[in-house]
């Protein structure tokens, strides 16, 4: 089953959070977001705003550009849509 964009992004956030050994509860406290909202983002059920992404990146001590770079590598359709052609 193909993952949608939100699921791919959520999985990346979850991996980064776990790599830093931060629980959803702790991330919620660090960002001022609700823990259930973080869970919904990680499960691809919610689409975070840019401001929310920045808060999460700050709490996880990861540059937004690094996060999006990881996303570009994990979404097989990203480069096809960006360039409009297959290959490379």
Angstrom distance (rounded) from CA 29 to CA 88: 42
What confidence score (pLDDT) does residue 88 get?
Answer: 46
Q: Helices in the chain by DSSP H: which ranges?
A: 5-19, 24-31, 35-42, 50-60, 64-74, 78-83
The answer to whether residue 33 is domain-embedded is yes
Round the average pLDDT of the chain to a whole number and report it.
Answer: 91
Please give the average per-residue pLDDT across 27-45, as a whole number.
Answer: 98
What confidence score (pLDDT) does residue 79 get?
Answer: 72
State pTM to two decimals. 0.85
What confidence score (pLDDT) does residue 9 get?
Answer: 96
CA geometry: angle 27, 31, 36, nearest 5 deg: 60
* CATH number for the domain that contains residue 13: 1.10.260.40
- Looking at the structure of the chain, the number of domains it has is 1
Structural domain of 30: 5-83
The answer to whether residue 88 is domain-embedded is no
């Amino acid at each position: 089953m193909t993952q949608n964009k939100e699921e791919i992004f959520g999985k990346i956030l979850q991996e980064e959070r776990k790599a830093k050994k931060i629980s959803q509860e702790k991330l919620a406290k660090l960002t001022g977001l609700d823990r259930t909202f973080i869970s919904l983002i990680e499960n691809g059920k919610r689409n975070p705003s840019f401001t929310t992404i920045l808060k999460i990146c700050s709490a996880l001590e990861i540059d937004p550009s690094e996060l999006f770079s990881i996303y570009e590598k994990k979404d097989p359709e990203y480069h096809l849509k960006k360039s409009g052609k297959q290959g490379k």
